Amino acid sequence: MKEKIHPKYYNCKVFHNGELVMTTGATVPELHVEVWSGSHPFFTGKQTFVDSAGRVEKFTRKFGGNYFAGKKK
């Protein structure tokens, strides 16, 4: 391997809601995730709330709510 071309390798700690869920290798020392397999409804069988309303509101503000009005086929 060539020296000085590879990024620094960390034993990365992955956090979900402030709780350590796993440790893996990565180029950053910490990751904070919103969804992981231990909290995803597909794997747990339980329904949880994920804030997607904020994303819709951001889109509406950005495009004025009528972004698709002028699109006709």
pLDDT tens per residue, range 21-61:
899 999 999 999 887 777 777 777 776 566 666 777 777 77
In a domain, 47, yes or no: yes
In a domain, 51, yes or no: yes
Residue 18 binned pLDDT confidence (cut-offs 50, 70, 90) = confident
The domain tally of the chain equals: 1
In a domain, 39, yes or no: yes
Question: Residue 52 CA to chain centroid, in angstroms?
Answer: 12
Q: Which residues contact 7 (CB under 8 A, 6 or more apart)?
A: 27
In a domain, 72, yes or no: no
Give residue 47's domain range: 10-63
- Comparing CA positions, the residue from 56, 18, 47, 10 lying closest to residue 34 is 18
Can you list the positions of beta strands (E) in 19-68?
19-26, 30-33
pLDDT number for residue 33? 86
In a domain, 4, yes or no: no
pLDDT number for residue 67? 63
Place of tokens 């796993």: 22
In a domain, 41, yes or no: yes
Give pTM, 2 decimals.
0.50
